[in-house]
Every structure is written in structure tokens, then in C-alpha cells.
């Protein structure tokens, strides 16, 4: 476990980033213009009471913080790790989720979303969605991994392992990739993203699904990333969360995390 990574605030100029002393610094999403960025390993971005999370701060600088004021519906921190780093754990029976309203956060396509997460079963688990009952843009498991923005795109059999998921929402030219695989072009529909919820969406609108599992990091970019930047993000997330073995052999960051 890289405890030193947690020792200083996430914006501290001398925070250790895991790179060798004297060597290049590790690349991170702050090298991009992100619309929203949530990192569960950055403990100072999490507001909690007794381990229950009431706020998960946005690291993008846009202050799109995810919140939950109802105690029973707050997910847990400090109870679960992925790759040795803290992840936010969600309990489906308690409808636990964090969100930001559509009045405060709204993004139109194209949208690139990267999420490191795992579900505890292959049934109905939603990782993220809009915060608007009439318009959904979401990623979930229900036997298969599925992304949808008005049209459902099954991404193959779901499992209970942590993965680096990549989704580009761009109508008929949407992309789906997992663990650094070459993205497939799919038609996910044209819904936009009014508001954002991670974990349970039943809290925000009915009907809706819940999540039994964990979310480690979510990066949202309100543009189409270049292939080079997408691969940097995949490499950053995979190496950070101990998922580099899942990267394909030809991935440019298979053997080492990206640096600057």
C-alpha cells in the first residue's frame, strides 16, 4: 500500500506521486482539462462521519462535488481497497449513492468517462447515471456490462473484478473500451448528462437501480480525448489501482505508468 501517497493533501506541491526521486513525475489527469474528477485514494477529498461519506470532492477545480445528506444512504470510506488504495463502498439494500443536481452540473455529448469500479455481483448494479429521471446516460451491470445514453450497448459478460472502463458518448460514434483494449465503436444514443450520480440512482429518481460494490476513481472529460491522452489515462488508472496486468500487451503503458 502506498501510504505516502495519502500523507499530504492532494494539491500539496511536495506530495509524493510514486515516481522515483530524480526521475520524471508520474502523469495524472490534472495534465488534461477535466470536467469532473473523483479519486477515492485522495482521502482529503472525502468528508465523512464515522466512515459514512457525505461529500466526495471534485478534483477538477470545477467544484462539482458529489454529496449525500441522508445518513442511511451514505456510502462508506475506509472499509475497502482496490489495489491497496481506498475505494468508496456502496450497499445496495440501503440505496447508497452520491450525486450532484442537474441544476449545478450538466454536460452535452461528446463526453468521455473513465471509471475504475467493481461490482459484488453480476446482477443489477449502476455505477454512474444522470441525476434526471427523464434522461439517462449510464453504465451498469445486469448480466452484461452495459453503457446507455438512450440506446443500450451490451459490453459482454459482467464480472465482479475491478476494471478500468472507458466510455465515449457521441451518438452513433460512441466508444467502449475496458482495461486499455482498443475501443469498439457503438451507438449508445444521444442523451446528454444532466446531473451526475454514482452508486444508487433510486435515491434520485424512481424507478432506478442500486450498486453493491465499489468505485475507486471517475474522470469525466467534456470533449473527445485524443488516442494518446486516452491511453495515458488508461495507463495512469491501471497502474495506480493495480490493474496493469489487464492492459493488453500492445498498450503503450503496459510496462510502466505514463510520466511527464
Partner 1 sequence: MEYYVFATEAAAQACVDYINGTPWFPIVGTCSGQPAPTKQATTAWAEAPTEMLSGEWAVPRIPESRLDYVGVPQVDRDAFIAAFGQDIRDLTDAHFPVSEQPI
Decide if residue 173 touches partner 1 (CB under 8 A).
Answer: no
- Residues in CB range of 258: below 8 A, 6 or more apart: 26, 27, 231, 232, 235, 236
Decide if residue 71 touches partner 1 (CB under 8 A).
Answer: yes
d(CA 87, CA 204): 22
47: helix, strand or coil: strand
In the complex, what is the shortest distance from the CB of residue 215 to partner 1, in angstroms, rounded to a whole number?
17
DSSP 73: G
Instruction: Please identify, using beta-carbon distances, which residue of 60 and 74 lies nearer to partner 1.
Output: 74
Give the binding range for partner 1 (CB under 8 A) out of 111-119, 146-154, 163-171, 237-245: 146-154
Give the strand pairing for 144-148 and 138-142.
antiparallel
Q: Quick one: residue 158, left, alpha or beta (phi over 0 = left, psi -120 to 50 = alpha)?
A: beta
- The single residue among 39, 58, 89, 91 that binds partner 1, judged by CB under 8 A, is 91
Closest CA to 113 of 164, 56, 159: 164
Decide if residue 93 touches partner 1 (CB under 8 A).
Answer: yes
C-alpha pair distances (Å), 224 with each of 79, 164, 175, 240, 253: 35, 18, 10, 23, 20
Is the CB of residue 198 less than 8 Å from the CB of residue 215?
yes
Instruction: Please identify, using beta-carbon distances, which residue of 90 and 253 lies nearer to partner 1.
Output: 90
Locate 128 and state its grid cell.
Answer: 454512474
In the complex, what is the shortest distance from the CB of residue 205 to partner 1, in angstroms, rounded to a whole number?
7
- The single residue among 55, 62, 122, 144 that binds partner 1, judged by CB under 8 A, is 55
Decide if residue 5 touches partner 1 (CB under 8 A).
Answer: no
DSSP 88: E
In the complex, what is the shortest distance from the CB of residue 225 to partner 1, in angstroms, rounded to a whole number?
27
- The single residue among 2, 15, 16, 48 that binds partner 1, judged by CB under 8 A, is 48
In the complex, what is the shortest distance from the CB of residue 95 to partner 1, in angstroms, rounded to a whole number?
8
Is the CB of residue 121 less than 8 Å from the CB of residue 241?
no
Instruction: Please identify, using beta-carbon distances, which residue of 102 and 231 lies nearer to partner 1.
Output: 102
- The single residue among 212, 229, 231, 241 that binds partner 1, judged by CB under 8 A, is 212
- The single residue among 18, 24, 51, 248 that binds partner 1, judged by CB under 8 A, is 51
Decide if residue 9 touches partner 1 (CB under 8 A).
Answer: yes
Neighbours of 166 (CB within 10 A): 25
Decide if residue 20 touches partner 1 (CB under 8 A).
Answer: no
Number of residues forming the site for partner 1 (CB under 8 A): 45
Locate 165 and state its grid cell.
Answer: 472502463
Q: Which chain residues interact with partner 1 by CB under 8 A?
A: 9, 43-52, 54-55, 57, 65, 67-74, 91-95, 124, 126, 133, 136, 140, 142, 148, 150, 152, 202, 205-210, 212
Amino acid at each position: 500500500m502506498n501510504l505516502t501517497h495519502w500523507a499530504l493533501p492532494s494539491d500539496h506541491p511536495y506530495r509524493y506521486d510514486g515516481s522515483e526521486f530524480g526521475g520524471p513525475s508520474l502523469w495524472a489527469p490534472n495534465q488534461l482539462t477535466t470536467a469532473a474528477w473523483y479519486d477515492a485514494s485522495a482521502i482529503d477529498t472525502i468528508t465523512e462521519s464515522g466512515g459514512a461519506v457525505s461529500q466526495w470532492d471534485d478534483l477538477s477545480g470545477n467544484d462539482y462535488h458529489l454529496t449525500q445528506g441522508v445518513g442511511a444512504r451514505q456510502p462508506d470510506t475506509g472499509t475497502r481497497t482496490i489495489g491497496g488504495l481506498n475505494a468508496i463502498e456502496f450497499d445496495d439494500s440501503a440505496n447508497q449513492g452520491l450525486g450532484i443536481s442537474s441544476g449545478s452540473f450538466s454536460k452535452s455529448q461528446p463526453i468521455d468517462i473513465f471509471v475504475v469500479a467493481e461490482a459484488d455481483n453480476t446482477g443489477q448494479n449502476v455505477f454512474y447515471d444522470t441525476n434526471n429521471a427523464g434522461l439517462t446516460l449510464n453504465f451498469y451491470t445486469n448480466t452484461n456490462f452495459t453503457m446507455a445514453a438512450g440506446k443500450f450497448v451490451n459490453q459482454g459478460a459482467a464480472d465482479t473484478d475491478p476494471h478500468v472502463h472507458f466510455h465515449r458518448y457521441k451518438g452513433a460514434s460512441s466508444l467502449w473500451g475496458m482495461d486499455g483494449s482498443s475501443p469498439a465503436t457503438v451507438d449508445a444514443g444521444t442523451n446528454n448528462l444532466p446531473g451526475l450520480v454514482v452508486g444508487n440512482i433510486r435515491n434520485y429518481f424512481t424507478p432506478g437501480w442500486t450498486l453493491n460494490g465499489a468505485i475507486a476513481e471517475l474522470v469525466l472529460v467534456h470533449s473527445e480525448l485524443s488516442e494518446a491522452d486516452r491511453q495515458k489515462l488508461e495507463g495512469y488508472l491501471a497502474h495506480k489501482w493495480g490493474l496493469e496486468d489487464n492492459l493488453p500487451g500492445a498498450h503503450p503503458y503496459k510496462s510502466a505508468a505514463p510520466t511527464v
